Amino acid sequence: MINNFIHSKAIHHIHEECGVFGVYSQTAMDVASLAYYGLFALQHRGQESAGIVVNDDGLFRDCRGMGLVNEVFSQEKLQALGSGNMVVGHVRYATTGGSNMVNVQPLVINHHKGRMALAHNGNLTNSFALRSQLEEKGSIFHTTTDSEVIAYVIVQERLKCGSIEEAVYRAMERLEGAYCLVISSPAKLIAARDPHGFRPLCMGKTREGAICFTSETCALDAVGAEFVRDIAPGEVVTVDAQGIHSQQGHCGKAPKSLCVFEYIYFARPDSVVDGACVSLARQQAGRFLAMEHPVDADVVIGVPDSGLEAAIGYAAQSGIPYAIGFTKNKYIGRTFIAPSQGRGKTA
């Protein structure tokens, strides 16, 4: 793995589109596999790297790596992660340039009050300012991610208050921008969503009663969990041996602003995001397009994959037949050797 440590002041996280997943079970179970299937369902949100951290009664075991979920995890590695009562998982979007093994999440750090695994989807707007303040006090940074800044801010708050969830809540007052967090402390699993609700985050429950937090409902389906509710913008939800409790003080402080690209492009069509089915939202968008921009055509063709539903909606509204016009070669993956001037294709 070759890493490029570019200067921290030049870091821009334009495409911080990731997927997070966490589980809290009252009894030890194979949480690593739950995370594996959850991350597989969230794979469309990040193909650069993947990681799972199992919390086995305060002992943290992690497996993280560059690549797709099926490249990072093997049967053997999942078994080595063992059982536990908590897990945190993360898939990360392929950004150009800053791809970096040390940046692979979840982040696992040790601090005065114990240990913490943190998975983060989003990007801060005041990351540089926070980082500079910390460095001026002697802090050292291993990564170039916002997530390490968030971890530092939480740890600082933790020194001043009585619980990790209170520390997360206080930290949210200092963090600006988009963030959905799933955090495991030795004894608690915490989910937090920024006051704007830029990125989706929801809660589910497996048949055995384990609580899941994840970016999209399709990950709940993948592990056989039922959707319970969305995490509200500004909310902190904590699960521990005593049960679930929520702190909502930040709610309503900011206008709700779910990123529209979640419906148009990012989310999987079978997910329900903040109460709306992504597939139906895309069909509806196609119907609106047909009403606003009617055309005279023989067929309506969608560009796979996110454009297919919109095409179906356009076809239904306009009465023009729907057809399949593009056949994707499903075998073309990251190892495909693209044709160049000198090879293969004519011309």
The answer to whether residue 60 forms part of the interface with its own copies (CB under 8 A) is yes
Applying CB under 8 A, among 40, 93, 213, 266 the residue interacting with its own copies is 40
Contact 121, 199 (CB under 8 A): yes
Judged by CB under 8 A, the chain residues 67 through 106 that form the site for its own copies are 68-71, 73-75, 77-78, 80-81, 102
CB of 75 to its own copies, least distance (A): 5
The answer to whether residue 17 forms part of the interface with its own copies (CB under 8 A) is no
The residue written with tokens 């779910």 in the block is 258
* 312/298 Cα distance (integer angstroms): 14
Point out which span in 230-238, 255-263, 285-293, 310-318 binds its own copies (CB under 8 A).
310-318
Point out which span in 174-182, 190-198, 232-240, 265-273 binds its own copies (CB under 8 A).
265-273
Size of the site for its own copies (CB under 8 A): 95
The answer to whether residue 321 forms part of the interface with its own copies (CB under 8 A) is yes
* 211/305 Cα distance (integer angstroms): 31
Applying CB under 8 A, among 15, 28, 43, 228 the residue interacting with its own copies is 43
Using DSSP's 3-state secondary structure scheme, residue 94 falls into coil
Using DSSP's 3-state secondary structure scheme, residue 169 falls into helix
The answer to whether residue 293 forms part of the interface with its own copies (CB under 8 A) is no
Judged by CB under 8 A, the chain residues 136 through 195 that form the site for its own copies are 136-142, 144, 151-152, 155-156, 159
Phi, psi of 217 (to 5 degrees): -65, -25
Q: Which of 75, 51, 55 is nearest to 63 (CA)?
A: 51
CB of 115 to its own copies, least distance (A): 6
Contact 326, 301 (CB under 8 A): yes
Pick the closer one to its own copies by CB: 249 or 339: 339
∠ CA 341-344-347, rounded to 5°: 55
The answer to whether residue 211 forms part of the interface with its own copies (CB under 8 A) is no
Contact 121, 177 (CB under 8 A): no
Q: Which of 252, 35, 269, 22 is nearest to 121 (CA)?
A: 22
Q: Which of 28, 100, 32, 93 is nearest to 62 (CA)?
A: 32
Applying CB under 8 A, among 6, 161, 291, 297 the residue interacting with its own copies is 6
Judged by CB under 8 A, the chain residues 103 through 132 that form the site for its own copies are 108-112, 115, 132
**Beta bridge partner(s), residue 22:** 88, 213
The answer to whether residue 4 forms part of the interface with its own copies (CB under 8 A) is yes
Known active-site residue 180 = no
Applying CB under 8 A, among 28, 37, 227, 285 the residue interacting with its own copies is 37
Pick the closer one to its own copies by CB: 158 or 193: 158
Active-site option among 18, 202, 212, 259: 18
* 173/31 Cα distance (integer angstroms): 32
CB of 249 to its own copies, least distance (A): 23
Contact 44, 68 (CB under 8 A): no
**Beta bridge partner(s), residue 227:** 204
* 115/210 Cα distance (integer angstroms): 22
Applying CB under 8 A, among 12, 57, 59, 303 the residue interacting with its own copies is 59
Pick the closer one to its own copies by CB: 177 or 186: 186
Pick the closer one to its own copies by CB: 242 or 340: 340
Residues involved in catalysis: 18
